[in-house]
């Protein structure tokens, strides 16, 4: 315990020093919002990766892999192809160039200025400010669970301690502090994940032996999971069953596509001085992202074989039915004590790097995208309001982390990724590449995608609709389709992720309305494309 405290104290001291360095070099709003647009490609890539891959990926989705097995590795493939290559090459370069031409400092501001619309900037900022605390809560839960198991401190106390530390350097240092600390934290995460995967395979006698052992455990798959469609941890789920839909529509599709419209990631494209830095960042990100997610999902699945070998139980049984505890308990019970101390740092790094970015983007959504745009305050005053917004986002995340049910990390993450994709992705993509996209089309697509996503979540998607209870209150049913014949395609709709429906709706609205509404002024489009 003394070793853990000493190592953690040194780590926190370095984090606070980097935060102080960011604060000292943040002299104006561009520094606070975009790190002065002069960020090093390695720092940018590591910050992007560390923000993307958090405790929600390692603890939450790693725990989900403990339930669903290797099919989650399809999400790793999606993060490489979509989250790194497509994001940086096809979205990143044009985002940087157009953002510079329009003088944009935030993701909502980029959308608002592209379409010359205060409404689009304000509505986008409102979505982010209101809902990013749910995603932040998922990350906060993961890191707090790790501290709870590693240090034995109460879960609530862990929430407060982490939040106070984050508040110190995010509120004061802005984007520079966030990105400096992200890069440092990303390096710690990379080293720890390499040790974790090698150690796991050694415990099971090698790669082939480990995978064969997990395959042979097919008869140990819990009856409840079998009923939902699971066959085994290496075999996956039967096509078209409820759990197949959860794995591939919510986790793989929802998160894999949703990464393209994440405001806290997109804004990083505007922090580098040229396309050259983005080209270099593809290489760094292409190595870092699969190392993080690939290891987490592989170890999550293989934890079943290790737990069964050492304790005679599968992972979810060891974790007492809470999949968010699978990875923390695996580290504490199956890995050497020295590693658990260091891995705690990796989880602190993973969680704090993402949380700092979430709090920062939540704050800028309030200060820059609402107050500066609608209330017409000065840039200097909007920075002060942004700091207040960071604090509000932080407090809201603590509240959500306190009340959300167990095994919620992966689901809360997928919810925010899907909501952003349905709301922002069509107008973001078409805004970068199609001069025929119109202001009215962007407004209809934004509101329509958001509304479709929320309707499906509140009235059709069983996981959320049952918990929220609005559909039950209004209709007497848990979902609008729960009364359909069990096993029918209508009944199965309650397992289809909202993003599967909402994103096509949003895209169709954008293209359809753009075809029949007046084009934007030629002078404005010339400005938007001046750097492209």
In three state form, how does the secondary structure of 168-188 look? HHHHHHHHHHHHHHHHHHHHH
Beta bridge partners of 237: 230
CA angle 130, 61, 243 (to 5 degrees): 100
Mean pLDDT of 283-295: 85
> For residues 203 and 335, is the Cβ–Cβ distance under 8 A?
no
Residue with tokens 């309001």: 385
Question: Looking at residue 191, what is its pLDDT?
Answer: 86
Q: Which of 178-192, 326-340, 444-458, 479-493 has the lowest mean pLDDT?
A: 178-192
Inform me whether the pLDDT recorded for 368 exceeds 60: yes
User: Do 181 and 169 meet the contact criterion of CB atoms below 8 Å apart?
Assistant: yes
Region 427-432: mean pLDDT is 97
- Residues in CB range of 516: below 8 A, 6 or more apart: none
pLDDT at 208 over 90: yes
pLDDT band at 188 (very low <50, low <70, confident <90, very high): confident
Q: What is the DSSP letter of 70?
A: G
How far apart CA 337 and CA 342 sit, in angstroms, is: 9
Task: Give the confidence band of 362 by pLDDT, cuts at 50, 70, 90.
Answer: confident
Per-position DSSP letters for 54-66, written without gaps between them = -HIIIIIIHHHHH
Given a contact cutoff of 8 angstroms between Cβ atoms, the answer to whether 96 and 384 are in contact is: no
Say yes or no to pLDDT of 78 above 80.
Answer: yes
User: What is the pTM (predicted TM-score) of this model?
Assistant: 0.86
Show Cβ contacts of residue 117 under 8 Å, excluding neighbours closer than 6 positions.
439, 442, 443
CATH 1.20.1730.10 domain position(s) in the chain: 2-402
- Output the CA torsion 253→255→261→265 (10° steps): -150
| pLDDT confidence band for 184 (50 / 70 / 90) | confident
Rounded to an integer, what distance in angstroms lies between the CA atom of residue 390 and that of residue 401? 16
Question: What are the helix (H) ranges across 25-117?
Answer: 29-34, 41-52, 55, 62-68, 73-78, 93-102, 107-114
User: Tokens 């580290």 identify what position?
Assistant: 331
What fold does the segment set 2-402 form as a domain?
A: Sodium/glucose cotransporter (1.20.1730)
From the number of C-beta atoms within 10 Å of its C-beta (0-12, 13-18, 19+), residue 75 rates as buried
Greater confidence (169 vs 69) lies with 69
Say if CB 55 and CB 351 are below 8 A apart. Answer: yes
DSSP code of residue 189 = H
Least confident of 334-343, 475-484, 500-509: 334-343
Q: Which residue has the higher pLDDT, 199 or 11?
A: 199
Task: Specify which of 103-117, 270-284, 339-353, 364-378 reaches the highest per-range mean pLDDT.
Answer: 103-117
Distance separating alpha carbons of residues 88 and 259, to the nearest angstrom: 11
pLDDT for position 305: 96
- Our CA angle for 185, 187, 188, nearest 5°, is 65
Rounded Cα distance, 200 and 210, in Å: 9
> What are the residue ranges of helices labelled H in 107-154?
107-114, 118-151
Residue 231 CA to residue 223 CA, distance in Å, equals: 10
Q: Where are the beta strands (DSSP E) in 195-252?
A: 230-232, 236-237
Note whether 269 and 276 are within 8 A (CB): no
Q: Return the H-helix or E-strand segment holding 462.
A: helix 462-468
Distance (Å, whole) CA 309 – CA 305: 6
Residue 446 host element (H or E): helix 439-459
pLDDT interval class at 31 (50, 70, 90): very low
């Amino acid at each position: 315990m003394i070793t853990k405290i000493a190592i953690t104290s040194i780590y926190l001291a370095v984090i606070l020093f980097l935060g102080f360095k960011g604060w000292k070099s943040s002299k104006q709003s561009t520094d606070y919002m975009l790190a002065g647009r002069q960020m090093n490609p390695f720092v940018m890539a590591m910050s992007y990766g560390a923000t993307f891959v958090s405790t929600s990926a390692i603890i939450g989705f790693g725990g989900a892999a403990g339930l669903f097995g290797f099919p989650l590795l399809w999400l790793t493939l999606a993060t490489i192809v979509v989250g790194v290559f497509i994001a940086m090459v096809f979205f990143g370069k044009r985002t940087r160039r157009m953002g510079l031409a329009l003088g944009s400092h935030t993701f909502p501001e980029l959308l608002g200025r592209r379409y010359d619309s205060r409404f689009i900037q304000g509505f986008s900022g409102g979505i982010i400010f209101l809902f990013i605390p749910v995603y932040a809560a998922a990350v906060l839960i993961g890191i707090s669970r790790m501290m709870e198991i590693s240090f034995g401190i109460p879960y609530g106390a862990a929430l407060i301690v982490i939040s106070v530390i984050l508040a110190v350097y995010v509120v004061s240092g802005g984007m520079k502090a966030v990105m400096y600390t992200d890069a440092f934290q990303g390096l710690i995460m990379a080293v720890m994940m390499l040790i974790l995967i090698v150690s796991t395979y050694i415990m099971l006698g090698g790669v082939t032996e480990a995978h064969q052992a997990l395959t042979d455990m097919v008869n140990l798959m819990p009856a409840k999971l079998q009923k939902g469609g699971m066959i085994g941890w290496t075999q996956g789920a039967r096509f078209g069953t409820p759990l197949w839909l959860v794995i591939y529509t919510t986790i793989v599709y929802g998160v894999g596509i949703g990464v393209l419209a994440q405001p806290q990631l997109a804004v990083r494209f505007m922090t580098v001085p040229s396309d050259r830095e983005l080209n270099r960042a593809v290489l760094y990100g292409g190595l870092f992202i699969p190392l993080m997610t690939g290891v987490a999902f592989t170890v999550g699945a293989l934890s079943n074989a290790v737990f069964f070998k050492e304790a005679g139980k599968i992972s979810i049984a060891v974790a007492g039915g809470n999949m968010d505890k699978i990875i923390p308990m695996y580290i504490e019970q199956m890995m050497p004590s020295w590693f658990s101390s260091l891995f705690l740092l990796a989880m602190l790094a993973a969680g704090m790097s993402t949380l700092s970015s979430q709090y920062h983007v939540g704050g800028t959504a309030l200060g820059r995208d609402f107050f500066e745009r609608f209330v017409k305050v000065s840039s200097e005053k909007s920075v002060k309001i942004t700091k207040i917004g960071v604090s509000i986002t932080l407090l809201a995340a603590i509240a959500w982390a306190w009340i959300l049910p167990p095994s919620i990390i992966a689901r809360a993450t997928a919810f925010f990724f899907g909501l952003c994709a349905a709301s922002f992705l069509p107008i973001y993509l078409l805004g970068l590449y199609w001069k025929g996209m119109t202001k009215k089309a962007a407004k209809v697509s934004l509101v329509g995608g958001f509304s479709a996503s929320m309707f499906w979540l509140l009235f059709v998607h069983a996981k959320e609709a049952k918990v929220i209870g609005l559909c039950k209150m209004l209709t007497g049913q848990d979902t609008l389709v729960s009364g359909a014949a069990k096993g029918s395609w209508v009944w199965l709709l309650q397992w289809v992720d909202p993003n599967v429906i909402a994103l096509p709706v949003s895209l169709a609205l954008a293209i359809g309305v753009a075809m029949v509404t007046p084009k934007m002024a030629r002078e404005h489009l010339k400005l938007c494309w001046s750097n492209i």
